[in-house]
Structure 1
């Protein structure tokens, strides 16, 4: 089993963590906007049909 020869410094460890967290945050924001857009699209598709039925 491979074992690191030297201990990773705090700064390198924290740098890797922040890079990982930033990627995760970026994906979460992107997923939120995709879901938001999809929900708006669904609500827009439902509205014209209900308006037409109530006006007739």
Structure 2
């Protein structure tokens, strides 16, 4: 016969949620930093430019 699961405590739930939000905030910060670097032209990130795309066509 099926038995109901035990309820997760609020502290466990909040801890998991905080970890998830911290990871998301860190990723957002990295993405914003990379975007700013690409726009300012001082990044070491390699990506195709419009000029290169036109030459290939």
Output the TM-score relative to the length of structure 1: 0.66
> Which is richer in helix?
1
- For structure 2, the residue ranges without an aligned partner over 5 or more in a row are 43-57
Deviations along 1:1-56, one digit per CA (max 9) or x if unpaired, are: xx8610000000000000000000000000000000000018xxxxxxxxxxxxxx
The structure 1 segments of at least 4 consecutive aligned residues displaced by more than 2 Å after TM superposition are none
The total of aligned residue pairs comes to 40
Structure number with greater CO (CA < 8 Å, separation at least 6) is 2
Output the TM-score relative to the length of structure 2: 0.65
- The equivalences for 1:1-56 within 5 A come to 5-41=5-41
- For structure 1, the residue ranges without an aligned partner over 5 or more in a row are 43-56
Superposition RMSD on alpha carbons, in Å? 2.0
